[in-house]
Structure 1
């Protein structure tokens, strides 16, 4: 199961898609209304299993949305005035945004007094884009101890030797000429220092330790991995004032981010550094078109050849994107590719600007920019407990591996303690299908196999093993709200959105749509007024006991129906010859004059014609969602044989009341399980006659599984 969201600059989810993956792939679409305002939106995709890690590791892609309508023909003066007004509004938005952010990151995590190290700098605007600036590091007396300059991407680094009992600050000059001051992290007297340098075909790791009065050597361990695959592990001893070094060959590691972590003698992680291992045997892809030039609507044939760096053919899965050479300028495109996502940005937290830049020619400038990026934004994706643990930690994960639509959660009490072995009743669908099951030892439950063809209304009722409704249902949300740590994106300038290239792009797009969907603009058909008549379907569900009902209760005849917690409270004292009493676990119904050979006095309960094992399931249905209640006794109940020996209570719910109620009772929760998104098949002009369309065979409808 794949969930796809579109998030506004204000971190509001406005579109959601639920897709069923097949062999790791699925087609999808999102229609943007023409009323959507200009701004930078975020496309977010994730699975249930991915939610067990940080949200920063979801797949995200920033998508600019432009309003490309040309200015109205109201004269140059009016158009200029409109643009000036919008420009002022945009300027106010930019001014109201937060100030630029500048942060400092000592290599490995900390820096120690008297030991030289490297400090990374990350400077970004309020929208999260890199900021070019100059700065000076000052001590408490105002003396300059280091200088730095950040390029357009906003990341840089400088060498620095901090002193004890000193607090440092940085004064930076912003692009508009103003100055700002930012504090550097505090200097530590004791601790561990980790430095990594790329020298030729190896990574040299240097470790220094500065203890608080300790004179004996300290044990240490260095461990390195790429995407959880161990690459290096070494141990040693280090005394204060000494330097421990290790060599990690690049040839031992696959391409990607190499995580190097330093552990002390108690197996506690003290420092970590991320470096990038470049590809040494990248695939070579060659495209050869079948012709040098092509005509309008002519099919294009491409021969694709994939080989290794040595020229050997190799199997590969490829994606191809074709775009017009005339595209939106500036922020309309983001320079990234599949390789940059898989090897770099998928393991970094936060927004990475222009990822494809770091995969250009291996020049010193690009190499340093990549090193500074990992020095500042480098956060580990895999915890070392996961890498070193002998068994998987998946048993402790909250979100399951979802292969079909699921509904999961936990039964807890008011003090948040779990309710083990609690009883759960599930009602779903328009036909009110019923499933009864038992939660696990920790109160966890999981229902699987929802069909997904239509949005399904689900109502859950929970009880303790003794039958009490003093229990809370905590359902796992399908779509998480974007975390507050997301940096909001400043909207695109409205003045820029109406610039000449953007307006021209919109005009070209509209002309192309007219040519594709309506080649002949001279013809048209105008329909006359049409009157549509119909008959409204009856609201009441059909009765199974026409002419045999002993007593009938219609909820529409009782304006105060919403004040009753359940139908048993509603029935008390309203049916002659039927007694409704409360018990320690719920309610008991006795229809006088009825008896059976089973020894039980409870009548037969029906819900929309479906037989229930007992009346507890009816407690989950709010009284406002009931259309009527039919009571059968005596000869009227004989149609059910011995099952109706104690009488019959038939409950009919309202039609189209699939959402049950917005105010469920205690121990009850309501949820709408989404339907699979039906992807549209977009129009494309035919280049040659094609075979008739085929319709895929629908998969069999799965059944609801038991909770685990």
Structure 2
């Protein structure tokens, strides 16, 4: 007898899905597993990042354009938790980071570019994308894509694979048990890390051939096998040169469990066959748990008898993608695992169509993208489009796209060769080949041991919604022994603000979620009552995750020699034209003499034109005082200072309350003014009566405006070092550039500059309307060629889509 408990995966939010299992079933094990998975996902929810690149390979001085997508991992909803995505470029030979971008994510999307300057050597690179939160998990979950940067001398010849074949066997369910027939999947990989078609055989200890095997797709295949009691086996693979090489064969277990899964015979049901050989047990209660990306899909209960156990598990309500099946024994221990891929073709339908099948060079092209769901209804979605010259850029066959990444590659560890092959409806054998992949590529998102343990370790890294600044404070180069208050002045072209913070007992401080573009100038100092001059500050730079050096030489698709030569030649011409255009903008003028009265620029920190009194602070003056207010005492008529240091109070004659304090144009409290390092003060302005009216009611008691040296844009930091003050810059969100596509108006005279762009057009921020449509226009280049258009799409509800089209230019 089999009991099954199913959850409608697509109809409810995540938490309702799990709690629904409790309502439908009173089984303790069902509730136990659901609780464990829910708790794990609550403590360690995960994210996925994906980059759509404009093309698969580049040349030095080229620009790599990218569109970034960020989702949560289970339902692929647009992720608004992390607003900062790191994108970097890793040299595969050295593992060094050749470029880092901080991309601001808005509603799960962002964009940017990496300029491949001369400083970036030609060769193989990996572009990565990850959030700070994703660093709590294995870096195998980072988005990673191999690219290649050519130089003008590159011939495009890919290294030839050499060396022995790496052949591995994978018993279905995880183990071979003596006396139980099962299936064994296998995969052969060459020295380039790619699947290699192979054949071979298995010998028993008496040297009889008991099985033979031949790969069917990218070195993968499977065969039926019945291990016998007390027998040992060895396998042999046939090399291309006819050489026969011995390879390791899985060990035979005397007792245990096996599980076979048929996910292909019926599109709406998965058949599970479970067998067991356990001494002293003829009926063994078991559970089969199915979950899709960490959300419980079903729990089935049954007993394995002498003839095994067969279950028919409906899959119609499961989402497209990988479902993880686990067989638990009567003690609640996972004993067999198997991945299956659910393919109901629920991805978006993306139709890309130009208004004409053929255009002329430099003619205006108009393209329409229509996005519908699997039932044909229009869908509003976010998309990015790349248009390339197919005469220069050869797209890799069945390369990664957003559909294959989110539904397949992002949930498996290791390299997936030709991932979009498994989603091409024109390939009749794709589903059986996908099943081979499920048997040979291991599950990696989490391990059951991590989920089932009583306590889950809290994550070490946090979700970032902005840039993080952290560092350490020391006194006399020694660790602090108590918390210390800090003041920060932050400024750039569009931001000017003050903040306060505090160190921990050991002097470490962290400022979270700073939102700014490009860079930010910071001025940091302590706010304690004494000893500020003895403080020193160390900012911790961002440390990108270490990258593993790829030993296998990577080369992109094998590019036709003439096609590569055209790409490199035209790229060089394009860069030379750009260089000449920049040079022509600079003209040497005749000497001229300009006579005029020098205009003194107005200090942007001052709202007022002039002050009633100004105190210029000199080095000698500062050396005699520890506080700004101490310096003012007795130097400004009508201004009274009572007390000293942090305890000083100040008033301007005719007013009962204290004046408004302003620091470099920003109103602040008195405590920040009194904590300033006097060596950093440039001047102090005092405003009384009508002069202070520009500050409104806040200036009713007068204004004391303090201007610092470092707040002055013209200040030369190299000439003056102030003890206890750190002035530095930190990097913020990268400012994305706009892709330049030339326009050729019909009425304008023809340009004499040749135009052979390899990326003809790049549109990262398109959005379909209520009819599921979006149109865009661009001018073709001078090349008589085939133009390749590729669109990647993601809805707010997490459904991906991919579409492509071509047209000719004659």
Tell me what 2:737 maps to: 679
Tell me what 1:160 maps to: 225
Tell me what 1:47 maps to: 131
Equivalent-residue separation in structure 2 for 1:455 and 1:319 (angstroms)? 28
Whether the aligned pair in 1 keeps the contact of 2:112 and 2:734 (CA below 8 Å) is no
Equivalent-residue separation in structure 1 for 2:244 and 2:717 (angstroms)? 62
**How much does 1:110 deviate?**
2.2
Residue in structure 2 matching 1:209, options 268, 276, 298: 276
Whether the aligned pair in 2 keeps the contact of 1:228 and 1:387 (CA below 8 Å) is no
Tell me what 1:585 maps to: none
Tell me what 2:45 maps to: none
Equivalent-residue separation in structure 1 for 2:506 and 2:258 (angstroms)? 43
Tell me what 1:14 maps to: 98
Tell me what 2:416 maps to: 352
Task: For CA contacts below 8 A with separation 6 or more, give which structure has more relative contact order.
Answer: 2
- Normalising by structure 2, we get a TM-score of 0.58
**How much does 1:250 deviate?**
2.9
Give RMSD over aligned pairs. Answer: 6.0
Whether the aligned pair in 1 keeps the contact of 2:483 and 2:506 (CA below 8 Å) is no
Equivalent-residue separation in structure 1 for 2:140 and 2:464 (angstroms)? 20
What do the CA deviations read for 1:322-354 (whole angstroms, capped 9, x no partner)? 33332445x866623332222211211121111
Secondary structure at the aligned position of 1:501 is classed as helix
Whether the aligned pair in 1 keeps the contact of 2:275 and 2:309 (CA below 8 Å) is yes
Tell me what 1:30 maps to: 114
User: CA, structure 1 residues 269+656, in 2 after alignment: closer, same or farther (shift >3 Å)?
Assistant: farther
What do the CA deviations read for 1:21-44 (whole angstroms, capped 9, x no partner)? 122222211111256444332221
Equivalent-residue separation in structure 2 for 1:396 and 1:627 (angstroms)? 45
Aligned 1:509-524 pairs, distance under 5 A? 509-510=571-572
Residue in structure 2 matching 1:222, options 259, 270, 288: 288
Equivalent-residue separation in structure 1 for 2:282 and 2:540 (angstroms)? 51
What do the CA deviations read for 1:509-564 (whole angstroms, capped 9, x no partner)? 45567789989x9x9789559999xxxxxxxxxxx9978769689xxxxxxxxxxx
Secondary structure at the aligned position of 1:323 is classed as strand
Secondary structure at the aligned position of 2:460 is classed as coil
The answer to whether structure 1 residue 109 and structure 2 residue 192 are counterparts is: no
Equivalent-residue separation in structure 1 for 2:356 and 2:410 (angstroms)? 38
**How much does 1:685 deviate?**
2.3
The answer to whether structure 1 residue 379 and structure 2 residue 443 are counterparts is: yes
Residue in structure 2 matching 1:400, options 462, 472, 490: 462
**How much does 1:276 deviate?**
1.0
Whether the aligned pair in 2 keeps the contact of 1:38 and 1:492 (CA below 8 Å) is no
Equivalent-residue separation in structure 2 for 1:547 and 1:359 (angstroms)? 73
Aligned 1:240-279 pairs, distance under 5 A? 241-279=306-344
Moved more, 109-118 or 287-296: 287-296
Name the count of aligned residue pairs: 593
Unmatched segments (≥5 aa) in structure 1: 71-82, 412-418, 468-472, 533-543, 554-574, 579-595, 631-649, 691-708
Equivalent-residue separation in structure 2 for 1:220 and 1:310 (angstroms)? 39
User: CA, structure 1 residues 209+94, in 2 after alignment: closer, same or farther (shift >3 Å)?
Assistant: closer
The answer to whether structure 1 residue 2 and structure 2 residue 79 are counterparts is: no
Equivalent-residue separation in structure 2 for 1:526 and 1:114 (angstroms)? 84
The answer to whether structure 1 residue 65 and structure 2 residue 149 are counterparts is: yes
The answer to whether structure 1 residue 125 and structure 2 residue 190 are counterparts is: yes
Equivalent-residue separation in structure 2 for 1:503 and 1:612 (angstroms)? 68
Whether the aligned pair in 2 keeps the contact of 1:29 and 1:680 (CA below 8 Å) is no
Tell me what 2:211 maps to: 146
Whether the aligned pair in 2 keeps the contact of 1:139 and 1:169 (CA below 8 Å) is yes
**How much does 1:503 deviate?**
0.8
Equivalent-residue separation in structure 1 for 2:619 and 2:570 (angstroms)? 72
Secondary structure at the aligned position of 2:416 is classed as coil
**How much does 1:616 deviate?**
14
Whether the aligned pair in 1 keeps the contact of 2:126 and 2:146 (CA below 8 Å) is yes
Equivalent-residue separation in structure 2 for 1:270 and 1:409 (angstroms)? 47
User: CA, structure 1 residues 426+680, in 2 after alignment: closer, same or farther (shift >3 Å)?
Assistant: farther
The answer to whether structure 1 residue 490 and structure 2 residue 556 are counterparts is: no
Whether the aligned pair in 1 keeps the contact of 2:515 and 2:732 (CA below 8 Å) is no
Secondary structure at the aligned position of 2:275 is classed as strand
Secondary structure at the aligned position of 1:504 is classed as helix
Aligned 1:182-581 pairs, distance under 5 A? 182-198=247-263, 199-201=265-267, 202-211=269-278, 213-215=279-281, 217-239=283-305, 241-281=306-346, 283-329=348-394, 335-361=399-425, 365-381=429-445, 396-407=458-469, 425=486, 429=490, 436-437=500-501, 447-456=511-520, 478=542, 480-484=544-548, 487-492=550-555, 499-510=561-572, 527-528=587-588
User: CA, structure 1 residues 102+550, in 2 after alignment: closer, same or farther (shift >3 Å)?
Assistant: same
Whether the aligned pair in 1 keeps the contact of 2:152 and 2:568 (CA below 8 Å) is yes
Unmatched segments (≥5 aa) in structure 2: 1-83, 474-480, 532-536, 593-612, 627-640, 650-662, 683-706, 749-810
**How much does 1:183 deviate?**
1.9
Equivalent-residue separation in structure 2 for 1:389 and 1:460 (angstroms)? 45
Secondary structure at the aligned position of 1:105 is classed as strand
Secondary structure at the aligned position of 1:301 is classed as strand
Secondary structure at the aligned position of 2:110 is classed as coil
User: CA, structure 1 residues 272+171, in 2 after alignment: closer, same or farther (shift >3 Å)?
Assistant: same
Equivalent-residue separation in structure 2 for 1:227 and 1:493 (angstroms)? 31
Equivalent-residue separation in structure 1 for 2:731 and 2:400 (angstroms)? 35
**How much does 1:57 deviate?**
1.9
Equivalent-residue separation in structure 1 for 2:168 and 2:540 (angstroms)? 35
Whether the aligned pair in 2 keeps the contact of 1:452 and 1:676 (CA below 8 Å) is no
Secondary structure at the aligned position of 1:192 is classed as strand
- Normalising by structure 1, we get a TM-score of 0.65
Secondary structure at the aligned position of 2:300 is classed as strand
Whether the aligned pair in 2 keeps the contact of 1:17 and 1:677 (CA below 8 Å) is no
Whether the aligned pair in 2 keeps the contact of 1:121 and 1:155 (CA below 8 Å) is yes
Whether the aligned pair in 2 keeps the contact of 1:226 and 1:257 (CA below 8 Å) is yes
Tell me what 1:75 maps to: none
